[in-house]
């Protein structure tokens, strides 16, 4: 994939940035300028894991998207993203809080469809979400940008020719991948070629 020049960030962005907090999990809801709540209050929400607000909002706008974006940028390491979503109801609460912010005096908003995007360590959160059928039903597409990692199966390492990513790390993605293969969902994975001691995105994609 050729390199794409990244233009200077236009900050603050054209729109509203709202803190959405659930316990110790702080996220940011970006509402693009001119966004209007659809008929029936049915919200399509993009949720992104692990990128600075400035960059991912810039990419959201560059793509011409007019819908809201929830940015979850918690820090470094996949466990930093996995741990908050061990509380299986947290994602639902965040969606409800976002919907409450999008509601008007006339229309009550509700999130009916979610697009998930993730970079690098953000997969820790995505993996937890895909363990829950209620979130699989809600999620329309998953886009992982160099963002699918795993341990190696016990007793193997990066230097073993017959190494395989640990099944327990990969299994949570299985149901969503089968739905995507059947044309019912969308799953997109991009990866780099950076060597690692663990199963990197190139290895898990294989």
pLDDT, tens digit (0-9, with 9 covering 90-100), for 156-175: 666 666 677 666 777 888 89
From CA 74, how far away is CA 28, in angstroms rounded? 11
Residue at 131 is within a domain: yes
Residue 1 domain flag:
no
Query: Rounded CA gap, 22 and 90, in Å?
Result: 7
**Is the residue at 7 inside a domain?**
no
pLDDT above 70: residue 206:
no
Which residues constitute the domain of residue 115? Answer: 15-205
Non-local (6+) Cβ contacts of 55 within 8 A are: 9
Of 82 and 167, the one with more pLDDT: 82
Whole-number percent of the chain with pLDDT over 70: 84
**Structural domain count, the chain:** 1
**Does pLDDT of 200 surpass 70?**
no
Cβ atoms of 137 and 177 within 8 Å: the answer is: no
pTM for the full predicted model: 0.89
Residue 201 CA to residue 145 CA, distance in Å, equals: 9
- For the domain that residue 63 is a member of, what is the CATH number? 3.40.50.1820
Exposed / middle / buried, residue 7 (Cβ in 10 Å: 0-12, 13-18, 19+): exposed
């Amino acid at each position: 994939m050729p390199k794409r020049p990244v233009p200077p960030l236009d900050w603050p962005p054209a729109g509203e940035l709202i803190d959405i907090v659930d316990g110790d999990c702080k996220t940011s809801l970006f509402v693009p300028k001119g966004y209007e709540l659809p008929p029936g209050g049915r919200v399509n929400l993009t949720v992104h894991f692990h990128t600075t607000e400035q960059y991912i909002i810039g990419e959201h706008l560059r793509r011409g998207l007019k819908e809201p974006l929830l940015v979850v940028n918690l820090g470094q390491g996949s466990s930093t993203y996995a741990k908050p979503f061990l509380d299986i109801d947290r994602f639902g609460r965040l969606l409800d809080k976002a919907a409450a912010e999008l509601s008007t005096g006339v229309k009550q908003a509700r999130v009916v469809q979610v697009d998930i995007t993730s970079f690098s360590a953000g997969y820790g959160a995505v993996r937890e979400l895909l363990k829950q059928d209620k979130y699989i039903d809600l999620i329309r597409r998953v886009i992982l940008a160099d963002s699918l990692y795993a341990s190696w199966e016990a007793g193997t390492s990066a230097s073993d020719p017959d190494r395989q990513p640990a099944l327990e790390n990969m299994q949570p993605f299985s149901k969503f991948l089968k739905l995507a293969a059947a044309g019912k969902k969308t799953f997109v994975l991009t990866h780099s070629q950076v060597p690692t001691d663990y199963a990197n995105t190139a290895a898990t994609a294989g």
